[in-house]
């Protein structure tokens, strides 16, 4: 099966074409990347994601009609960047008539690290905070959540992955997996894709309210204060 994978939950704008199947000597589903593009620019999600997808299809020599499914990271991530990836994935899925599967972006990082680890994954949440989740043997056991690093315990994790700068705030050995890759995204959704399960609606993991909010009612200016000695009509 051919799958397009995208993620915009971190400063890395990621797109790829992945072949999902079983190896000759195993019954396990194995995602194999045919083409991938990554641009690290937190302000370029909208500009580069679609061109990256098209470039990956061309490099992999895959026609749009051959795509079986799309996978998109659903965060947690900043509001503006995250919605670009999810909206693009939904639009491609609708145009091609294929299912779109949403996966937690932190789960994709954990899938790239692999099982057998007591793992903590952290990414940049801005405002001096981190998005984080904890994994045991490849399964999420805590999170996702958003907190200041001082409020996230390193224990019982043995290693950490995700944003290098934020991982440095924890006293744990670092595994250099900084953002979701196409193979990690597809690995998380592999069973659902193979079973052709109807995907759940895409729900972004913002974990907090966006910075931009709708304006409220116009503020009423107070009545001017009359100067000293001013007598209003009807007063003596």
DSSP character string of 162-211:
E-HHHHTTSSS-B----S--HHHHHHHHHHHHHTTPPPPPP-----S--S
pTM of the complete model:
0.86
Give the largest CA-CA distance in the chain: 103
CATH fold label, 2-194: Nucleotidyltransferase; domain 5 (3.30.420)
Residue ranges of domains in the chain: 2-194
78-113 pLDDT, tens digit each = 988 999 999 999 999 999 999 999 999 999 999 999
Q: Which residues contact 153 (CB under 8 A, 6 or more apart)?
A: none
Say whether pLDDT at 216 is over 60. no
Q: What is the pLDDT of residue 24?
A: 73
**Tally: H helices and E strands in the chain:** 5, 9
User: Are the beta carbons of 104 and 144 closer than 8 angstroms?
Assistant: yes
């Amino acid at each position: 099966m051919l799958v397009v994978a995208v993620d915009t939950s971190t400063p890395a704008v990621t797109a790829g074409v992945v072949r999902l199947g079983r190896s000759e000597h195993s019954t396990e589903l194995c995602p194999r990347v045919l083409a991938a593009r990554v641009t690290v620019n937190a302000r370029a999600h909208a500009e580069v994601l679609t061109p990256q997808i098209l470039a990956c299809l061309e490099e992999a020599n895959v026609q749009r009609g051959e795509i079986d499914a799309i996978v998109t990271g659903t965060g947690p991530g900043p509001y503006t960047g995250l919605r670009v990836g999810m909206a693009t994935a939904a639009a491609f899925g609708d145009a091609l008539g294929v299912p779109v599967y949403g996966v937690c972006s932190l789960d994709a990082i954990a899938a790239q690290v692999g099982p057998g680890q007591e793992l903590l994954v952290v990414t940049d949440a801005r405002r001096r905070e981190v998005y984080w989740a904890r994994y045991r043997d490849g399964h999420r056991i805590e999170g996702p959540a958003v907190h200041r690093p001082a409020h996230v315990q390193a224990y019982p994790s043995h290693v950490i992955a995700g944003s290098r700068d934020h991982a440095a705030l924890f006293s744990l050995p670092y595994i250099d997996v900084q953002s979701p890759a196409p193979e990690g995204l597809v690995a998380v959704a592999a069973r659902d894709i193979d079973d052709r399960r109807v995907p759940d609606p895409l729900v972004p993991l913002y974990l907090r309210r966006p910075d931009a909010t709708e304006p409220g009612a116009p503020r009423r200016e107070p009545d001017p204060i009359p100067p000293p000695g001013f007598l209003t009509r009807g007063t003596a």
